[in-house]
Amino acid sequence: MKRFIIILGLTLLISVAKSQGYTPFNFESGEWVVRYDVKVSLFGGPYCTEQIDSVMFYCNGDTIINDTSFKKLFYKGYSTCPTWRYISGYYGAIRNDIPNKRVLFNQGGNIVIYDFNMHVGDSVCNITTFLPVTFYICGTVTSIDSVQFCSRYFKRYNVTDYLQNVYSIIEGIGSPDGLFTTTAWFSDLLCYTEVNNSACPACEPFLSVKNRFSDKTIIKTNPGSDQVDISAEGEISSLEIFDIFGRLAYSNYNINSKTARAFIVEKGLFVLRVRVADKLIVRKIIKQ
């Protein structure tokens, strides 16, 4: 399940909660390797039925926007559409707002992508966009602890969303979706490291992309049809589909097959939860 990939990818050591100050993002030497499953690339290119973009985000140089200094954020990596190809370019401007414990991103206008003024019991909403729909995935901070990484401690906020999925947001590192909360069908932060810091594990950015492409669970929807077809390499034991308000729209708890078919009558955005072998896979789907 993608919410736990960040924990495995970063090889974090869980510790007892510690009292510590705010840890800003290291935009001087930090590198974030992210994989996106999309139909339209976030980085330009043609429409494909299915594709994977795997990129490394990193900063190089400064820029001034409205008298405020930002870091220039770039990306480089590979896309599978229409064939394997190298992609790279400038993505936007980013900066720490340390006094307010926030991270600002500018791609034509400032937006707050992280606000770490959080306490246990606070609501947290991540903005997610599936054109033409923009919506919020909201949850509650259930606990706050720390993790040790690169020989220092980072504060970790553990969140339970309305579907009872548990994930973490870590100061100085970000979301399990990547440097940004997802604007794709599915995304993972595969690796985080810091250049010239021997205490950080090295990233192998694009080795896992082909593996993920070969063994992932596939969800197919057809415009005008109520059917949702799911296939996986492992045995599917159950599936559930929820609407954006958390209401159960479809369920089947006795499948025991590598393929399954669900039905959604209403149009809109839904969240699919599939149990494949010993893994719980969560995907977002759009019924047109």
Other beta carbons within 10 angstroms of residue 68's beta carbon come to 13
| Residue ranges making up the domain that contains 15 | 2-213
Greatest alpha-carbon pair distance for the chain in Å reads 60
Instruction: Give the Cβ contact number of residue 254 at 10 Å.
Output: 6
Residue identified by tokens 């001087």 is 28
State pLDDT tens for residues 188-247.
Answer: 787 888 988 888 877 754 433 333 333 456 777 777 788 888 888 788 888 888 776 567
DSSP state of 199: T
Tell whether 274 and 209 lie within a shared domain.
no
Same domain, yes or no: 158 and 15: yes
Same domain? For 51 and 87 the reply is yes
For 169, residues 6+ apart whose C-beta sits below 8 A from its C-beta are 114, 116, 124, 156, 157, 159, 175
> Range with the lowest mean pLDDT among 112-116, 221-225, 229-233, 272-276?
221-225
CATH number, domain containing residue 235? 2.60.40.3080
Which residue, 213, 243, 259, sits at the end of a domain? Answer: 213
Q: Are residues 26 and 149 in the same domain?
A: yes
Residue whose pair of structure tokens reads 């990306």 in the numeric block: 75
106 and 249 assigned to the same domain: no
The DSSP bridge partners found for residue 125 are: 138
Together in a domain, 138 and 245: no
The average pLDDT across 126-142 equals 61
Q: What is the pTM of this model?
A: 0.66
In sequence order, what are the beta bridge partners of 156? 145, 170
Short-list 112, 128, 127, 151, CA closest to 23:
151
pLDDT, tens only, 169-190: 899 998 877 888 655 556 778 7
How many folded domains does the chain comprise?
2
